[in-house]
Amino acid sequence: MRHAREDALNELEPLIIRLRRLPGLRERKRGTFYRGGSGFLHFHEDPAGLFADLKVNGEWIRMPVDTKAQRDALVRDARNSLT
């Protein structure tokens, strides 16, 4: 599984825009978000689809982000992890 390339990030742009609005996150490079000095969220691509790695309670979890429902779940979980 590789980090998401430009084409994949273009597909995820509406999701990335939503994530940029979350308080406390900083996007160091496109699609790679940090909370403070630590990695918080980034994207991968694979023949099986697009995925996000999200840090929840200090542990990375991998979430699919191919559908609107999956993307909504990522935003919800990211918001909850920031509180």
Q: How does the average pLDDT of the chain come out, rounded?
A: 96
Label residue 16 by pLDDT band (50, 70, 90): very high
Ranges of each domain in the chain? 2-82
Q: Look at residue 1 and tell me whether its pLDDT is greater than 80.
A: no
- Whether the CB-CB separation of 82 and 23 falls below 8 Å is answered with yes
Q: Look at residue 28 and tell me whether its pLDDT is greater than 80.
A: yes
Tell me if the pTM is above 0.95: no
31-58 per-position pLDDT tens digit: 999 999 999 999 999 999 999 999 999 9
pLDDT at position 83:
84
CA–CA dist 25, 23 (Å, integer): 6
